[in-house]
Structure 1
Amino acid sequence: MKLSQLHHLIAVAEAGTVRQAAKMLFLSQSSVTKSLQQLEESLGVELLHRGSHGVTPTAAGRALIARAKVIEAELREARNDIDSIMGAGSGEIKISMSPSVAMALAPQAIIEFKRTRPKISFHLQEGVYPDALHTVRTGEFDFAICLMPERPRDEGLSCVLLLPDRLTPAVRVKHPLTQSRKTLVDLVHADWVIYRRGPSGRDVFEQTFIAAGLEPPTSTIECTSFACALTMVERSDYITLVPKQLFSDRAARWGIVPIAMDAALPEWNIAVFYRSDHELSPVCQAFLQELQNVATNMLVHSRT
């Protein structure tokens, strides 16, 4: 069993076809096929179901892929450790983040971090709570930075609160609903745009109304693009539900504003997650500190 074979297996499983995986790996399709065949022969088991529309992992394949991702993560951390010891100032950090975090907190932290560590590379991906946590548990990503409703009871993950936050309905500038304070009852029959990415994405919207003893609005548009949802609100009379943190420094860029509410909506705080049973590399430790510094500055700025 070779590391390159495990890497090819992960790529094929994620791409869904050998052809697409080979393209992403900058290899020929035949070389990837041969690599997988040799891996299966060495283990004496079929790792992929091969069909006319692509491939899917077998039970044995899924088990090996899960382990392979942990191996790749450990190797990445080992390279980071060696780079730190050698004073190379290089390394890689992989982060999954919720869309609103990707528009303010995370970019600022990365920009500040790169000022003093320009050789550090980042791999960034959007993901929502709690779906994004799986990639941290498996070691595929170093961090998940998410909005969360409450601190999870998960012994496998450490959680550091970065910013306290709450949800708020938001509309375009000069929308009629901005003329006076509102309650959730006032918004039940409005037209909503809901950002939804992942199986749990709609829960934020539904639980906000259920917690207030209300049936969630039925007049909605579901959107898997956060930017598209905000644009639709900016250019129409739709409403959306966003964290207040979004307005910390972006209000002037997006033509949307929060609605003044009579009662505060549920807390959805911003937190960073990483594996509890795993010692962070010096590079990741330094970035975690940078996240906390930027979050503290944002909190101070929001109060002034």
Structure 2
Amino acid sequence: MADITLKQIEYLMAAAEAGSVTGAAAKLFLSQSAVSTALTDLEQALGAQLFVRHPRGMTLTAAGREALAEGRRVLAGVEEMRETARANVDSLAGRLRIGCYSTLAPVLLPRVIDGFLRKNPLVDLSFIEGSQSALADALRSGTIDLAIVYDYDVHEMRHPDEFTLRRVHASEPYVLLPPEHRLAGRRTVSLQELESEEMILFDLAPGGEYFLSLFHQAGLEPNVRFRTSSFEMVRAMVARGLGYSILSQRTDISMSYEGKVFTVCELAEEIKPLGISTSRLTRARPTRRMRAFAEELSRQLSSWRTGGNQES
């Protein structure tokens, strides 16, 4: 069997990202023939077709997608080997790709990234935002190294042989009300008092299921008037007086993009908080960069206050 080289894996990644040999060659500053030959040799070494060639470029086959994910893990392992070798003389360096649940990202990632890069300026950090299912797919494909998710009923990541989840924080839900609402100004509001009121449901999974479960577990059925997958849309509609909502991620500003304010209060019931966890592929050994980022995430989350975010 022919040997597989790191260069071939790098060419595979470049071709997959560019969607063509021409684009990969330009990205790698190589000739098209060199890239094409390397990819053909890789396919022969693996005994599988990795790309479907067509007039406008090339797309990965199922075997190609699996090879790409494995290749990314191999290169990550090589980078970790280099990092370990220079650990005693250099700061952390290399690539780190983070994924974050969409509504957590704007209230959490900026402060974590800032704190992390102040300590580790040589790390090439990038991030994506998305739903829980999108982040699970990104972990599987090797697009990201670590995901930050809510761990409520996270179907996509409940297989310990595939994903390793570690809870780092728990976020208690709270109520958003228009300033003129009859319940506004209260310190606490019960779910029973909210049941008949028009609700604006934040419905990006797993948020919608979680917020509805609060009522269902109490034997109640909320009056859902509107549904939206946008965190800021919820805040804007509440501020407009179109209903109340329940959210879990908190901000320091109780104001919509339009500059209209809303009020917040706590739920009267003792509610099981919504856990925030990191997730990674179980078979991918965590790098020092991943561990350092997770430590900074935990540090920043520990500084959160009940009423909002506290800069540290």
Calculate the TM-score normalised by the size of structure 2: 0.71
1:263 corresponds, among 269, 282, 291, to: 269
Matched, 1:106 2:112: no
Does the Cα contact within 8 Å between 1:84 and 1:283 map onto a contact in 2? Answer: no
Matches within 5 A, 1:35-50: 40=43, 43=46, 45-49=48-52
Matched, 1:142 2:145: yes
Matches within 5 A, 1:167-246: 167-180=173-186, 181-183=189-191, 186-187=194-195, 190-196=198-204, 202-215=208-221, 217-223=223-229, 225-243=230-248, 245-246=249-250
User: Which residue pairs with 1:292 in the alignment?
Assistant: 298
> CA 1:187 to 1:131, structure 2 compared with 1: closer, same or farther past 3 Å?
farther
**1:162-205 deviation line (CA, Å, top 9, x unaligned):** 222222332344444425534256345514142426xx564334
How far off is 1:41 after superposition? 6.1
Amino acid at match of 2:232: A
User: Which residue pairs with 2:160 in the alignment?
Assistant: 154
How far off is 1:33 after superposition? 9.1
How far off is 1:46 after superposition? 3.5
Separation in structure 1 between the aligned mates of residue 234 and residue 212 of structure 2, nearest angstrom: 17
How far off is 1:7 after superposition? 0.2
How far off is 1:21 after superposition? 7.3
**1:183-229 deviation line (CA, Å, top 9, x unaligned):** 256345514142426xx564334434433334464532333x43344
Matched, 1:125 2:128: yes
Separation in structure 1 between the aligned mates of residue 233 and residue 49 of structure 2, nearest angstrom: 42
> CA 1:81 to 1:10, structure 2 compared with 1: closer, same or farther past 3 Å?
farther
Amino acid at match of 1:227: E
> CA 1:300 to 1:207, structure 2 compared with 1: closer, same or farther past 3 Å?
closer
How far off is 1:52 after superposition? 9.1
Question: What runs of 5+ residues in structure 2 fail to find an aligned partner?
Answer: none
> CA 1:231 to 1:69, structure 2 compared with 1: closer, same or farther past 3 Å?
farther
Does the Cα contact within 8 Å between 2:178 and 2:239 map onto a contact in 1? Answer: yes
Separation in structure 2 between the aligned mates of residue 171 and residue 298 of structure 1, nearest angstrom: 22
* SS across alignment from 1:109: helix
By relative contact order (CA 8 Å, sep 6+), the higher-ranking structure is: 1
Separation in structure 1 between the aligned mates of residue 201 and residue 304 of structure 2, nearest angstrom: 27
> CA 1:39 to 1:250, structure 2 compared with 1: closer, same or farther past 3 Å?
farther
How many percent of aligned residue pairs carry the same amino acid? Answer: 20
* SS across alignment from 1:286: helix
Between structures 1 and 2, the one with greater helix share: 1
**1:235-293 deviation line (CA, Å, top 9, x unaligned):** 442433321x414x344687444344332444211222334555433333333222222
How far off is 1:112 after superposition? 1.9
Task: Report the number of matched residues.
Answer: 295
Does the Cα contact within 8 Å between 1:98 and 1:128 map onto a contact in 2? Answer: yes
How far off is 1:87 after superposition? 0.8
Does the Cα contact within 8 Å between 2:135 and 2:147 map onto a contact in 1? Answer: yes
Matched, 1:96 2:102: no
Instruction: Tell me which structure has the larger Cα radius of gyration.
Output: 2
